[in-house]
Amino acid sequence: MKLNRFLLAASTCAMLAGCAGMDPNALVQSGQLATQAAMLSDADVRALSDKSCAQLDSENQIAPANSPYAQRLDKIAAQLGNNINGVPVVYKVYLTKDVNAWAMGNGCVRVYSGLMDMMNDDEVRGVVGHEMGHVALGHTKKAMQVAYGTSAVRSVAASGTGMIASLSASQLGDLSEKFVNAQFSQTQETAADDYSFDMQKKKGLDPSGLVTAFNKLAQKDGGTSSLLSSHPASPARAKHIQDRIASGK
């Protein structure tokens, strides 16, 4: 059992942060934290997402309901729908020059005005559909589990006493940063692309905005936008969607 925990810890550490200089006891502890994180239930993830989203909302300027950004997103939201796997969705715009968008397992969807400035509505819809795909396909649950296991929250979680209710602002900030900067695998990215494509086709919408959105993101500042740091756009991904459009499948 100790060997299995050691191997789990070593594997987790190699994937997330590297293990140089760590002793066996530290590796075992990392493995225990990873196991705790993997055991988070859907309800735990939603509760953590509620706290994390509220924290991020408090730290960012939200576009008022009568702003052009909010009105644009309302139009896009009406096309995409108001739930993900039965979970109600709440859409908001952060007023920032950063180019990003994300969604959490509690239905929290946030789009940055910097992204909306560089994209038309069809492109924004494609990106938001992609983020919703990460939620629907369980990717954001895994990302929250990783954020939980690698952030300051783990020190509270390890005590097992009122973990979610007692999180401090700094702990929530660390958790939120880890989640927003989570890295999805290429397989997950392709699956989320396909989810956005399929959802738009099912609703009678044009999914070609996904292609042009990828191209714009890849060209922006040589591919260094904050969205690209966790969503590596590529000609191959654009071509995949183009091929699906051409085949009608």
Catalytic residue among 59, 123, 131, 177, which? 131
Check: CB of residue 156 under 8 Å from CB of residue 115: no
Check: CB of residue 84 under 8 Å from CB of residue 67: no
Check: CB of residue 232 under 8 Å from CB of residue 189: yes
Check: CB of residue 113 under 8 Å from CB of residue 95: yes
Check: CB of residue 121 under 8 Å from CB of residue 68: no
Burial of 143 per CB tally in 10 Å (0-12, 13-18, 19+): buried
| Distance between CA atoms of residues 127 and 189, nearest Å | 11
Residue 177 catalytic? no
What are the residue numbers of the active site? 131
